[in-house]
Amino acid sequence: MEQRFVGKPGLKVSELCLGTMTFARESDEATSHAMLDHFVGAGSTLPPFIDTADVYSTGASEATMGRWLSSQQRDDLVIATKVRFPVGEKPNDVGLSRKNILAGVEASLKRLQAKQNGGE
């Protein structure tokens, strides 16, 4: 499996990444979880690389992943999520302002059921 570096810090990831845009839209939760299980089970020398975004199914894709992640070894995975596109009606619910990025990260972590603030 080929490797790529993400960003300047040099996080190594697999060249193969599972996209979750269709989760909670074109595939139900059981099917989405089965796809994640199959992807992770396919094996690699690198942690499995999974892509999502707050805009995928208006956050439902991340929530589907969060329920799956609750029974996984998170340290064995690389999860990438994104912000930028509109997720609400307010003027600051879109774009790459500091406010929108921080709000988007906080909301994504909650949907992904990630522990925040040092594990609290």
Cα separation, 70 vs 76, in Å, equals: 13
pLDDT given for residue 119 in this prediction: 45
Question: pLDDT tens digits for 4-25?
Answer: 888 888 888 888 899 999 999 9
pLDDT at residue 102 greater than cutoff 90:
yes
Task: Select which of 47, 56, 104, 112 is catalytic.
Answer: 56
Task: Flag whether pLDDT at 117 surpasses 80.
Answer: no
User: Which pLDDT tens digit goes with each residue over 24-65?
Assistant: 999 999 999 999 999 999 876 778 999 999 999 999 999 999
Q: Tell me the backbone φ, ψ of residue 39, rounded to 5 degrees.
A: -60, -50
Summarize the chain as % helix, strand, coil (round to 5): 35, 15, 50
Active-site annotation holds for 56: yes
Whole-structure pTM value: 0.85
Confidence band (pLDDT; 50, 70, 90) for 89? confident
The yes-or-no verdict on residue 118 having pLDDT over 70 is no
Q: Is the dihedral of CA 28, 29, 34, 37 positive or negative?
A: positive
Tell me yes or no: is domain 3-38+46-111 CATH 3.20.20.140: no
Mean pLDDT value across residues 70-91:
90
Confidence grade of residue 116 (pLDDT, cut at 50, 70, 90): low
Can you give the residue ranges of every domain in the chain? 3-38+46-111
